[in-house]
Structure 1
Amino acid sequence: MVSLFADDSEQIDRRTSRSIRDAVGERLQQSLRPEARLPTHLEQLLNELKQRERDSH
């Protein structure tokens, strides 16, 4: 059977990762109405991401 994930996959660097996160964030902001509230779990994940971002600096 062929594995779905290759063991030799390339890792992306911090700059690329940041660019991808920023682009996803921008698209989410465009697609969500300003009054829309995020689901609790998604809000918790975003808060965790923000905390990790602060801790890495």
Structure 2
Amino acid sequence: MAGLFANDSEQIDRRTSRSICDAVGERLQQSLRPEPRLPTHLEQLLDELKQRDRDSH
């Protein structure tokens, strides 16, 4: 791993490094966005099923 930093001409400045980190972070946020919520009607039906399940126990 030390060989990666042996040549100073290959190092990047702080500003470029920050830009790269920001770009990677933005892409990760886009890729890892949470799933959209279910439509209200489906959520209500699921809630009703959960309630019936609790009532049956």
TM-score by length of 1: 0.44
Higher helix share: 2
Structure number with greater CO (CA < 8 Å, separation at least 6) is 2
Q: Which protein shows a greater Rg?
A: 2
